[in-house]
Amino acid sequence: MLGYLYIIGTISVIAAFLDDERVDVYRRVLIVLLYVIWASDTGAYLTGKLLDRLHYSHYNRLAPHLSKNKDYEGTLGAIVFGVAAMFITSFLLSVPGSPGARVGFSVVAVIVGRFGDLFESLLKRAAGVKDSGKLIPGHGGVLDRIDALMFASIVFAQYYGTAVT
């Protein structure tokens, strides 16, 4: 039951982006959100790979009982990539907002997205499964691909409720 609420609640928040008289801006915001989340996931992954190549061994795990691969170092890489994606895509798509608001909300969105990753890990641990599904081979399932997006969409909804309007 919690899984259904998790998915439906997020879809309703994302759908709210498209249900307004400023639908054009909200569509562009949704695209920016997607790029921020994808870039932050990539940044966390690349940071981990770089630190492995440098033989870094002092990882500070976020929640080792939920996910052994989530750490503060990866989160910093995720933030750097997420903020960069925010600036690039919001510039290219002419999305309104001050630079300070862009940095602030993208940092918060990335951190909240990491909580989404950890929440998904918690659900999988409770269910006793490694992957949330088999629809996307090699990626752990659809929920594993959109877990950060599901949490970060709430932050971006607030961004455009306060910083842009």
20 against 52, higher pLDDT: 52
Is the pLDDT at 118 greater than 80, yes or no? yes
**pLDDT tens track for 82-105:** 999 999 999 999 988 889 988 998
DSSP codes joined into one string, 90-152 = HHHTT----HHHHHHHHHHHHHHHHHHHHHHHHHHHHHT-SSS-SSSTTTT-HHHHHHHHHHH
Average pLDDT of the chain, as a whole number: 82
Q: 159 and 101 in contact (C-beta within 8 Å)?
A: yes
What's the pLDDT at 19?
Answer: 62
What's the pLDDT at 131?
Answer: 65
CA separation, residue 127 to residues 34, 103, 105, 122, 132 (Å): 28, 36, 32, 9, 9
Is the pLDDT at 1 greater than 60, yes or no? no
